[in-house]
Amino acid sequence: MEIGLGDLYSERALAAGMTTRKADLIFASLPYRIMHEFQIPLYEKMRERDAKFYADLEKAGFMLDWGADGSGLFMKYLRRGSGYYIDVGACDLVIDGSIKLKSGSDVSHLTEDSVVLKDGTVLPADLVVYATGYGSMNGWAADLISREVADKVGKVWGLGSDTPKDPGPWEGEQRNMWKPTQQEALWFHGGNLHQSRHYSQYLSLQLKARCEGISTPVYGLQERHHLA
């Protein structure tokens, strides 16, 4: 947090005259096309500062990476909304052996008291937790509305960066977020605290204008390049 966001969101930033509103606007002003160039050196600093921590994690079998181009967690978040874990204490338990890892082999099946991997390894278990991560907004649209609507809208979230789980073509902004979609009257809102604060204002203004009959021309609806 100190390296990545300290200049915008911190007591230090507040003392220097930064406000939450200004910080949100500055953060949102960075073009997505070049954002990874700003993120790479930040994550290089993080990797250097916490070198022992990451080395200990890898030694314990934790499969960590720094993104497709070394730009780290935040670009993964923007591009795919998955593939990362924000440590809140479990990593220390992995390092000291309290949590044991088994990587590199898919699950074959479950028995009454174990998990059996495809390589034949049997892991005794009293409880199995499917920690599958975040579901996609497309998936939720399909579940809550219909597959037909989800496919009509197309992929939600991501930039079209052509990195894993974010297929091109390049879009330049978050797909189908905070703007009209191919499905009339269906809007998507989501993201972290910054995005929720900042972009909810634009979304609400668009909805209010429509309710009041004010013309709200847009440059065009999101093209559907991918099904949900």
List, for residues 105-115, the tens digit of each pLDDT value: 789 999 999 99
Q: Cα 93 from chain centroid?
A: 24
Dist CA 188 CA 148 (whole Å): 16
pLDDT band at 117 (very low <50, low <70, confident <90, very high): very high
- Mean pLDDT score across all residues of the chain: 92
Task: Evaluate if residue 202 carries a pLDDT over 80.
Answer: yes
pLDDT in the model for residue 228: 64
Dist CA 167 CA 182 (whole Å): 19
Phi/psi of residue 197, nearest 5 degrees: -65, -50
Long-range contacts of 158-163 (CB under 8 A, 24+ apart): 158/78, 158/79, 158/80, 158/81, 159/32, 159/78, 159/79, 160/225, 161/75, 161/79, 163/67, 163/68, 163/69, 163/79, 163/80
Provide the token pair at 160.
Answer: 């079209």
Note the pLDDT tens digit of each residue in 22-34: 999 999 999 999 9
| % of the chain with per-residue pLDDT over 70 | 100
pLDDT band at 37 (very low <50, low <70, confident <90, very high): very high
| DSSP code for 166 | B
Residue 109 pairs in a beta bridge with 116
Please name which of 183, 178, 182, 176 lies closest in space to residue 206, comparing C-alpha atoms: 178
Residue owning tokens 């998936």:
139
- Regarding pTM above 0.75, the answer is yes
CA distances from 160 to 66, 191, 224, 226 (A): 19, 17, 12, 11
Task: Evaluate if residue 99 carries a pLDDT over 90.
Answer: yes
pLDDT in the model for residue 203: 94
Provide the token pair at 118.
Answer: 């495809």
Dist CA 194 CA 25 (whole Å): 9
Note the pLDDT tens digit of each residue in 41-97: 999 999 999 999 999 999 999 999 999 999 999 999 999 998 888 899 999 999 999
Dist CA 45 CA 70 (whole Å): 12
| Cβ contact 161:170 at 8 Å | yes
